[in-house]
Amino acid sequence: MAVLEENRDLFNMDSAQLELTPFDTIKDEHGQAFKFRQTYKGVPVFGNELILHTDADGKVTAVNGYYDPVVKIKGLKVKPSLSADQALTVAKQTLKVTAAASFDVQESQLVVYEAGEGDYHLVYLVTLSTLDGTPVYADVFVDAHDGAVVHTISKLSMVAAVAPASGVLDDTKTLNTDLVSGLYYLSDVTKPMFSTGGKIDTYSANYGLSLPGTMLSNTDNVWSDKAAVDAHYYAGLVYDYYYTEHGRNSFDNNGATIKSTVHYSSNYNNAFWNGGQMVYGDGDGKNYLAFSGALDVVAHELTHAVTTKTAGLIYQDQSGALSESFSDVFGELIENKPDNNWLVGEAIVTPDIPGDAMRSLADPGAYNHPDNMAEYLYTSADSGGVHTNSGIPNKAFYLFVTAPGMTQQKAGKVWYRALTQYLTSKSIFNDARNATRQAAIDLYGAGSAEVATVVNAWESVGVNDSTGDPFEPNNSKESAYAPVISDTTYNGRITSAGDEDWFKFTPSANGNVTVLMNNMAYDYDLAVYDATSNLIGQSTNRGNLAETVAFSGTAGATYYVKIVGYNGAQSSTSVYTLKATFPTVTTNKWFYETLPMDTPHPYPVSYNNRYQHTYKKQGAQKVALHFSRFETEHTYDYVQIRDKNDLTVYTYTGTLAGFWVTLDGDEASAILFSDSSVTAFGYTIDQVAYYNPTAIVSAGMLAEEPKTSFVDPIEE
Ligand code: TI1
Ligand code: ZN
């Protein structure tokens, strides 16, 4: 201490006595080492120690280590505002071990911690270790003044690993596993939530009833438990959907660990969310296979957790049927089959009967479930028919998502917003109608086709707005409802004796126009006028016979449809359906070309910036490349996508599923960089596309808009 005091200027130290505390000495035949910890007003400065060495004669030979002269000029208050117990609670929450029954280490110590250059905090350094659940051994630095978690350090050597495995249907997939102290666990530590400790952990109940059971583990990272493989893998896909599609970080949007237990009970024919985790039965093998074998079932269960954390729909009667419906809907959206058949659970239901399922969104009636309020089932079974009456909102969603111009992605945004921002625990179907309508207004604008489409969908299943006709006020030509979309059914009402309902539409090409009114309970009549109020045609059949007006329309002309009740015929509850069919030119102007571009397979090593593909389409507003296969050595070999100014817009590396990349401008280049070792397949660009809104559209050239992938693994 005296030597350090004498030399304190060397370290910019004011006083060795006040700033250093001896804590250890080591002696051997070569001499001694004296260890000192830096302290500030008696509080240790985390990580800062000095070691003074002497030779065997006691002569000082060296001083090494870390001492920070800056900490004392920061005026840090060393009297904590939080108690050690409060810090302990925060630390347990952070590590998600609040439920752990016992801790092998549970310590806390006040230290000064430098979070970033010159950013000092008085913190409780809390160390926790438990084997209850997945092994946890970590340091948490909790600010002793405001309780914020400044930093966490996991002290277990967790190594994220991957393993190929096959699922319930013998399909192969790649699992994320975790190597902890020599054992591999079915624990996915690769998701963004892991930065705050969130994982996907999969357990087995071993055919018993206690939950969560035991974490699945082995020493060779070989996984033969197919139900567990699928529960684990599909939970990851569901996490990814909510995270990338809706920015939702796990079911609580706060990175909560997602737990699943398979092999619950024996031959158990169901799956459920128990309030804290997912639970899967193995099925009896005849009526059901293991329930985790279907992505839509896994998504159904995890969506119950999202619902619980958001709308909180009460699990009975209409609110319960809504909960079931949201689970089914997101089950289908997450399954996201290109040719979605809207069948729920088809992968695991009655393996001997192909094409069979649990429920159908497209046709609930195929499973004896109602698809209209008129068929609503009043029952005390199944919590008020939650798995039956869900058919009504399921069908509304189906009508919405399959309407012209709608996509699964757009419909998913509307349903998600309704669930998370508008619905409440007591919500009934009518509230869901209003919630999805308002969500569509928020996302697409009050006059958008999306709003009309969603209102129509609910009307079609008999979930009517208590305010009556959804298209009011439309009592005159001037207030005619627009936009009427071709080939789309509108459900209006003549609500009083003098009520007139007006609609208008504009064909964008010459050709046949048909206006059809149907489904009336009373005698309503139909007329069509042009913009200068000339009568184009009318239909005044007797009674409730269908009315139709057909004529040859002109591109760009606006036509007005008038509906009136004959002789005062009216009803404030029964709907008529109106459908206009007219020629339209699609506005989607993506043009596809097949222009294969391949790297050599495999690509050579040290191929830096020498291999380049450029797709140029003079005058296009956007261009897009479709990579049907992409495999490079992760991190070391990568592909840059550059725009026409040679600016790198995206960088891709590793093995990626087929994806589109879209750039503004009329040129896109892919450039491969490889280092001096390890090669892989490279890539195949099998298709390209360009966007040109002024192009003349010819049939057969249009397809869906390319999807842009913004994943930039290197940036991440
Ligand atoms: S959330 C769970 C409720 C189960 C209650 C009993 C514990 C549920 O709805 N499970 C789904 C599972 C499912 C999902 C099966 C999609 C097939 C497809 C379910 O529909 N269960 C049926 C068998 C039911 O409970 O009536
Ligand atoms: Zn359910």
pLDDT digits 0-9 by tens, 353-392: 988 999 999 999 999 999 998 888 888 789 989 999 999 9
What's the rounded Cα separation, in Å, for the pair 76 and 245? 43
Evaluate the CA torsion angle 602, 605, 609, 611 in order and state its sign.
Answer: negative
Q: What is the pLDDT of residues 512-549, one digit of tens each?
A: 999 999 989 899 999 999 999 999 999 999 988 999 99
Residue-wise pLDDT for 132-174, tens only, equals 776 788 899 999 999 999 988 877 667 888 999 999 999 999 9
Average pLDDT of 469-483?
86
* 378 or 188, greater pLDDT: 188
Average pLDDT over the chain, rounded to an integer? 89
Q: Do residues 557 and 511 touch, judged by C-beta distance below 8 A?
A: no
Least confident of 92-101, 272-281, 688-697: 688-697
Whose structure tokens read 């209209």? 372
Residue 610: pLDDT band by 50, 70, 90 thresholds? low
Q: Please give, one letter per residue, the 3-state secondary structure of 167-221.
A: CCCCCEEEEEEEEECCEEECEECCCHHHHHCCCEEEEECCCCCCCCCEECEECCC
User: Three-state SS for 331?
Assistant: helix
The finding on whether 706 has its CB within 6 A of some atom of ligand 1 is no
Alpha-carbon separation of residue 527 from 18, 339, 454, 473, 569 (angstroms):
96, 39, 26, 18, 16
Please check the confidence at residue 706 and state whether its pLDDT lies above 70.
no
How many angstroms does the Cα of residue 585 sit away from the middle of ligand 2? 42
Is residue 111 within 8 Å of 44, Cβ to Cβ? yes
Per-residue pLDDT averaged across 441-453, rounded?
91
CA distance 615 to 640: 14
Task: Read off the pLDDT band of 702 (50, 70, 90).
Answer: very low
Say how far apart CA 158 and CA 135 lie, in whole Å.
10
Q: How far apart are CA 185 and CA 642, in angstroms?
A: 40
Q: What is the pLDDT of residue 186?
A: 96
Average confidence (pLDDT) over 561-586: 87
Rounded distance from Cα 432 to ligand 2 centre (Å): 18
Distances (CA, A) of 9 to 63, 87, 111, 144, 398: 14, 37, 25, 32, 77
Q: What is the mean pLDDT of residues 654-677?
A: 89
Q: How far apart are CA 548 and CA 527, in angstroms?
A: 9
Q: What is the pLDDT of residue 587?
A: 55
pLDDT value of position 715: 35
Report which ligand 1 atom has the smallest distance to the Cα of 349.
17
Tokens 């910019």, residue? 12
**Is any atom of ligand 1 closer than 6 Å to the C-beta of 313?**
no
Rounded to 10 deg, the angle between the 449-460 and 408-417 helix axes is 80
The dihedral over CA atoms of 303, 433, 425, 379, expressed in degrees to the nearest 10, equals: -90
Beta-bridge partners for 489: 579
- The better pLDDT of the pair 331, 471 is held by 331
Q: CA torsion sign, 309 to 312 to 316 to 321?
A: negative
Index of the ligand 1 atom closest to the CA of residue 324:
9
Is the pLDDT confidence value at 48 over 50?
yes
Confidence (pLDDT) at 468: 62
Chain segment 639-655, per-residue pLDDT in tens: 999 998 888 888 899 99
Instruction: Round to whole Å and give the CA distance between 322 and 264.
Output: 26
- Residue closest via CA to ligand 1's atom 3 equals 272
| DSSP track, 39-105 | EETTEEEEEEEEEEEEETTS-EEEEEE---SSGGGS----S-SS-HHHHHHHHHHHTT-TT-S--SE
End-to-end CA distance of the chain: 47
On whether the CB atoms of residues 671 and 612 are closer than 8 A, the answer is: yes
Residue 305 Cβ contacting ligand 1 at under 6 Å: no
Q: How far is the CA of 335 from the centre of ligand 1 (A)?
A: 17
Contacts of 511 (CB under 8 A, 6+ apart): 552, 553, 582, 583
Which of 89 and 468 is assigned the larger pLDDT? Answer: 89
* pLDDT: which is higher, 376 or 112: 112
As a whole number of angstroms, the distance between CA 574 and CA 464 comes to: 10
DSSP H helical segments within 368-493, as ranges?
A: 382-389, 391-401, 408-417, 429-444, 449-460
Cα separation values, 93 from 111, 187, 525, Å: 20, 19, 66
Q: Which of 12-21, 234-243, 588-597, 687-696 has the lowest mean pLDDT?
A: 687-696
What is the SS3 assignment for 149? strand
**194: confidence class by pLDDT, cuts 50, 70, 90:** confident
Q: Are 315 and 261 in contact (CB under 8 A)?
A: no
What pLDDT score does 295 carry?
Answer: 97
Question: In the numeric block, which tokens belong to residue 479?
Answer: 């207030």
pLDDT one-digit tens code per residue, 6-22: 999 999 999 999 999 99
Catalytic sites, residue numbers: 301, 387
Taking residues 494-499, report their average pLDDT.
88
Instruction: Give the helix/strand (H/E) hosting 321.
Output: helix 317-335
Give the span between the Cα atoms of 714 and 215, in whole angstroms.
32
d(CA 225, ligand 2 centre) in Å: 24
Instruction: Encode pLDDT of 220-232 as tens digits.
Output: 999 999 999 999 9
Ion ligand 2 nearby residues (CB, 5 A): 327
Please tell me the predicted confidence (pLDDT) of residue 695: 52
User: What letters, b where the CB count within 10 A reaches 16 and e where it falls short, cover 559-596?
Assistant: bbbbbbbeeebbbeeebbbbbbbbebeeeebbbbeeee
- Tally helices (H) and strands (E) across the chain: 11, 38
**pLDDT band (50, 70, 90) for residue 699:** very low
Ligand sitting nearest the alpha carbon of 274: 1
Residue nearest to atom 23 of ligand 1 (CA): 270
Please work out whether the CB of residue 344 comes within 6 Å of at least one atom of ligand 1: yes
Give the Å distance between the CA of 321 and the centre of ligand 2. Answer: 9
What is the rounded distance in angstroms from the CA atom of residue 449 to the CA atom of residue 316?
Answer: 33
Q: Which residue has the higher pLDDT, 196 or 18?
A: 18
In this prediction, residues 417-444 reach a mean pLDDT of 94
CB 367 less than 6 A from any atom of ligand 1: no
What count of Cα atoms within 13 Å lies in the side-chain half-sphere of residue 225? 23
Q: What letter represents residue 74's amino acid?
A: K
Please give the Cα distance from 227 to 8 (Å, whole number): 65
Question: Which band of pLDDT confidence, cut at 50, 70 and 90, is reported for residue 710?
Answer: very low
Name the pLDDT band for 91 (thresholds 50, 70, 90): very high
How confident is the model at residue 646, as a pLDDT?
85
What ligand 1 atom has the least distance to the C-alpha of 345? 18
Among 361-365, 483-487, 563-567, the range scoring the smallest mean pLDDT is 483-487
Contact status, residue 612 vs residue 639, Cβ threshold 8 Å: no
Q: What is the predicted pLDDT for the residue at 708?
A: 44
Residues 299-307, mean pLDDT to the nearest whole number = 97
Spatial distance between the Cα atoms of 454 and 400, rounded to a whole number of angstroms:
6
Q: Compute the average pLDDT of residues 70-90.
A: 93
| Whether the Cβ atoms of residue 212 and residue 222 lie closer than 8 Å to each other | no
> For the segment 308-330, what is each residue's pLDDT rounded down to a tens digit?
999 999 998 899 999 999 999 99
User: How much is the average pLDDT of 280-307?
Assistant: 97
**Whole-number CA gyration radius for the chain:** 33
Q: What's the pTM?
A: 0.58
* Cα distance between residue 365 and residue 571, in whole Å: 28
Q: What is residue 261's predicted lDDT score, i.e. its pLDDT?
A: 97
Closest C-alpha residue for ligand 1 atom 8: 272
